[in-house]
Amino acid sequence: MFRCVSSAVAVLGVVTWLVAPIVRAQTVQFTPVASIPGPADRLDVQGRFAFLAGGKSLAVVDVSNPTQPKRTGSFECPEKIWGFRVVGSLVYLAADFFGLGIVEVDSAGTPTLRGSVKTPGQAKNVAVIGTKALVADHMSGVDHIDVSNAAKPVTLGSFFLDGYARDVVSAGSLAYAVDAPTGLYIFDLSKSGPLEAVTTVQSASAPGSIVLADPPSTPGPTLALLVGGGSLQVYDVSNTAAPVRVATFKTPSGRPLRARLSGRIAYVADGREGLQVVDLSTPSMPRLVGGYKTANPARDVAVANGHVFVATGVGGEEVSHGEVLILRQTP
């Protein structure tokens, strides 16, 4: 299959990077305070609610008291939920062949489907910038969707990636997408006209997901962390026209699944090795500074209000059993 990239895209041929060894000066520790039973493959925490996706189900849990989490409701999607984003009271679901679903969560934590739109292939994840959503679709690339009316989202077009789209995130007017086997793409939604990448770099190694600091306000270079190829790949994306990979860090398991950035600290769901904490204060020299061994493989992680939430579970794409651990971080 041939995949075309617009001539407006700058293709960068020179990327420098370093392979960083594991430095074990661990100072960050954790104390478990509670757990949420049931399998979960993806999670996020916004405000007082935790959102857990496992298979076709999205569960909403009140974690305003982290020691006593309480389920408030759930939504069953027609297809597997591969990823989601929470913006205010709305949850944007990327749900396989179902496409993009928009679910509203009321003040009591009850989710209700507001609207949906079918994407051409398998929807893997979604980013939201203002009234526009970008969906990483396994076949079509990145789909551009108007979500100003949540009840009637409208597809505006798509940008075809070289490989198979895996993930997309946003910061300000910029969106960052990754595809397999090698691509990192940057889009600027402040520009009018059809969706076009302002930059593409074909230097990543089997990226499965990408994460940015939220919000990206830490002094120093703007970092993007790609997870895949058995490692964490640290990119300096300060210059959107010339992103540079500055380090590759192999985690203890050698098979990290997902990560979350809080400032210059990366919290990594590291499979059978549980939670790992990596200091990126010096981006070219990542340091392992802490961790927590989970009973089941760690699949996803979220950070909120001084606590770290770790989704654990056994299984491949379908989690057969597991739980979400709530950990309190201690310096």
25 confidence band (pLDDT: 50, 70, 90)? low
265 pairs with which residues across the strands?
262, 279
Q: Give the per-residue pLDDT at 17.
A: 44
Instruction: Report, as an integer, the average pLDDT of 228-242.
Output: 95
Tell me the pLDDT band of 218, cut-offs 50, 70 and 90: low
Among 99-108, 298-307, 308-317, whose mean pLDDT is lowest?
308-317
- Mapped onto helix, strand or coil, the DSSP state of residue 103 is strand
Cα–Cα distance measured from residue 312 to residue 242, given in angstroms and rounded to the nearest whole number:
36
| DSSP category for residue 81 | -
Instruction: Give the pLDDT confidence of 128-166 residue by residue, as tens digits.
Output: 999 999 999 999 999 999 999 999 999 999 999 999 999
Location of structure tokens 């089941």: 296
d(CA 306, CA 177): 29
Block residue for tokens 């491949």: 316
Tell me the percentage of the chain whose pLDDT exceeds 90.
82
Q: What is the pLDDT of residue 6?
A: 36
Full set of structural domains in the chain with CATH? 14-330 (2.130.10.10)
Q: Between 211 and 305, whose confidence is greater?
A: 211
237 pLDDT above the threshold of 70: yes
In the numeric block, which tokens belong to residue 21?
């060894």
Q: What pLDDT was estimated at residue 316?
A: 72
Average pLDDT score over the chain: 90
CA gap 176, 199 in Å, rounded: 10
Average pLDDT over residues 35-44: 92
Does residue 15 have a pLDDT over 80?
no
pLDDT at residue 216, rounded to an integer = 53
pLDDT digits (tens, 9 = 90+) for 79-134: 999 999 999 999 999 999 999 999 999 999 999 999 999 999 999 999 999 999 99
- List, for residues 250-284, the tens digit of each pLDDT value: 999 999 999 999 999 999 999 999 999 999 999 99
Written as one string, the DSSP assignment of 20-66 is EPP-EEEEEEEEEEEEEES--SEEEEETTEEEEEETTEEEEEE-SST
Report which secondary-structure segment, H or E, holds 199: strand 197-202
Q: What is the dihedral of CA 142, 82, 243, 190, to 10 degrees?
A: 50
Instruction: Judge whether residue 331 has pLDDT over 90.
Output: no
Query: Taking the complete model, does pTM exceed 0.85, yes or no?
Result: yes
pLDDT of the residue at 20 = 54
